[in-house]
């Protein structure tokens, strides 16, 4: 690369590029070999890449982008992956339909699928009432504990989902009706006040033993058929245990008085017909897994 016309630097004896800035000139050193070859190789790779792979943006003059010899397309790959996943999901959903609830819980793959499906269905259909993850709210039972109003087994939960609770249009719905003791005039406000003390005493929170004593006759006559002699509840009637610290409608004197006076008889929609069978199964498995499934 020496050029006889270029001046030579007098200190180093090397040729310069011939340009001079304020008396400073640059030595015309050759590029290091390793650098030069690496550079040639990258140019080669770029050309090969452009031939094989789609060139983005389009090469000038070609109008559209060139697909390359390998005809590679990220878009096609993504839609292929999606359709494969949909096929897998379809076959998982069919498997869900064919399997019994117990089978689903023992087959890891199927269980994972059911849980994922159940979780998203729960967010869409159930969380408005039962809260995210089934943590419950006043009047809406916690589903993530081991306290059940009705049957907490897999099959029991499925039945609850299918037919709802006090859902008039479904003749297989879970049903019971606590009388509206005050509102319908079965008991006086004073009697209900005493019964409130009685309920409080079931969880050791009453400080009025005389009221409890006065209410005990009414408890046996009016309440124990559903809530049990000891107040432990009865799942065949959806009657809650009144001796624990779990309260559906609030644990204050006021709340308990109101419950006895008006009765709540709350309602849960039936999902049969609104959700398909695979979805109901997936939801049953999901709810069962939340922590308190039996
Ligand atoms: C409109 C509000 C509402 C919606 C929506 C709702 N629920 Fe409920 N659910 C209730 C109420 C209220 C109860 C309690 C009824 C009672 O007093 O027995 C209940 C009870 C239940 C129970 C029985 C709990 C027990 O302790 O035995 C299960 C299980 C349940 N719901 C699951 C679901 C699932 C799963 C969904 C979504 C598909 C759902 N719920 C949607 C209001 C709702
Ligand atoms: C026919 C059955 C039945 C009878 C009789 C009955 N209950 Fe209930 N009770 C229920 C059911 C079912 C629930 C919960 C579901 C609902 O109301 O939504 C309930 C709920 C309650 C609650 C609310 C518990 C909570 O967790 O918030 C209290 C308190 C209660 N009952 C007290 C009584 C008392 C006191 C009597 C008697 C005067 C009585 N019940 C009679 C069925 C009954």
Centre of ligand 1 to C-alpha 40, Å, is 70
Tokens of 236: 């065949």
Q: From the CA atom positions of the chain, what is the Rg in Å? A: 38
Would the CB of 187 count as within 6 Å of ligand 1?
Answer: no
Of the listed ligands, the closest to the CA of 137 is 1
Would the CB of 165 count as within 6 Å of ligand 2?
Answer: no
Instruction: Give me the torsion for CA of 167, 169, 172, 175, rounded to 10°.
Output: 30
The answer to whether 103 touches 260, Cβ cutoff 8 Å, is no
The answer to whether 105 touches 154, Cβ cutoff 8 Å, is yes
Cα 163 to Cα 70, 118, 158, 216: the distances in Å are 56, 18, 9, 36
Could you give the CA distance from residue 29 to residue 17 in angstroms, rounded to a whole number?
Answer: 9
- The predicted pLDDT at position 4 comes to 67
The answer to whether 178 touches 199, Cβ cutoff 8 Å, is no
Nearest CA to ligand 1 atom 36: 126
Centre of ligand 1 to C-alpha 139, Å, is 10
Tokens of 8: 């030579």
Q: How many CA atoms lie within 13 A of 254 on its CB side?
A: 0
Tokens of 175: 């049903």
- The predicted pLDDT at position 186 comes to 97
Could you give the CA distance from residue 110 to residue 125 in angstroms, rounded to a whole number?
Answer: 22
- The predicted pLDDT at position 126 comes to 97
The answer to whether 101 touches 282, Cβ cutoff 8 Å, is no
- The predicted pLDDT at position 50 comes to 82
- The predicted pLDDT at position 75 comes to 87
Q: Which of 165, 197, 239 to mutate to test the pocket of ligand 2 (most atoms within 8 A of CB)?
A: 239
The answer to whether 256 touches 264, Cβ cutoff 8 Å, is no
Would the CB of 198 count as within 6 Å of ligand 1?
Answer: no
Nearest CA to ligand 2 atom 4: 178
The answer to whether 225 touches 139, Cβ cutoff 8 Å, is no
Could you give the CA distance from residue 285 to residue 156 in angstroms, rounded to a whole number?
Answer: 11
Query: Diameter of the chain by CA atoms?
Result: 124
Centre of ligand 1 to C-alpha 208, Å, is 35
Nearest CA to ligand 2 atom 17: 265
Would the CB of 126 count as within 6 Å of ligand 2?
Answer: no
Q: Which residues contact 97 (CB under 8 A, 6 or more apart)?
A: 277, 278, 281
Could you give the CA distance from residue 182 to residue 225 in angstroms, rounded to a whole number?
Answer: 18
Centre of ligand 2 to C-alpha 188, Å, is 17
Centre of ligand 2 to C-alpha 239, Å, is 6
The answer to whether 91 touches 105, Cβ cutoff 8 Å, is no
Tokens of 117: 């499906």
Could you give the CA distance from residue 278 to residue 254 in angstroms, rounded to a whole number?
Answer: 43
Cα-Cα-Cα-Cα dihedral sign, residues 180, 186, 192, 198? negative
- The pLDDT averaged over each successive group of 10 residues in the chain (294 residues) is 71 84 85 94 91 70 71 88 89 89 90 94 96 94 94 95 95 96 97 97 95 97 96 96 95 96 96 93 94 72
Nearest CA to ligand 2 atom 11: 239
């Amino acid at each position: 690369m020496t050029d006889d016309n270029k001046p030579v630097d007098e200190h180093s004896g090397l040729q310069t590029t011939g340009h001079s800035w304020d008396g400073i000139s640059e030595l015309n050193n050759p590029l290091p070999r390793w650098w030069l070859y690496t550079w040639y190789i990258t140019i080669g790779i770029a050309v090969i890449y452009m031939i094989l792979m789609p060139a983005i943006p389009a090469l000038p003059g070609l109008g559209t982008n060139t697909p390359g010899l390998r005809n590679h397309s990220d878009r096609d790959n993504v839609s292929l992956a999606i359709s494969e996943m949909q096929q897998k999901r379809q076959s998982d959903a069919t498997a869900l339909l064919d399997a019994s609830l117990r089978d689903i819980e023992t087959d890891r793959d199927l269980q994972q699928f059911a849980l994922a499906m159940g979780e998203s269905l729960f967010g869409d259909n159930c969380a408005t009432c039962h809260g995210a993850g089934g943590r419950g709210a006043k009047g809406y039972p916690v589903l993530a504990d081991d306290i059940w109003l009705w049957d907490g087994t897999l099959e029991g939960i499925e039945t609850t989902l299918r037919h709802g609770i006090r859902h008039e249009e479904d003749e297989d719905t879970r049903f019971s009706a606590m009388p509206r003791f005050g509102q319908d005039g079965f008991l006086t406000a004073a009697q209900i006040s005493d019964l409130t003390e009685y309920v409080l005493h079931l969880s050791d929170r009453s400080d009025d033993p005389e009221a409890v004593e006065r209410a005990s006759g009414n408890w046996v006559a009016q309440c124990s058929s559903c809530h049990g002699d000891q107040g432990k509840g009865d799942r065949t009637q959806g009657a809650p245990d009144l001796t624990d610290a779990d309260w559906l409608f609030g644990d204050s004197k006021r709340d308990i008085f109101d419950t006895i006076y008006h009765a709540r008889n709350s309602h849960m929609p039936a999902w049969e017909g609104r959700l398909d069978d695979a979805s109901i199964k997936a939801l049953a498995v999901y709810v069962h897994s939340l922590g308190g499934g039996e």
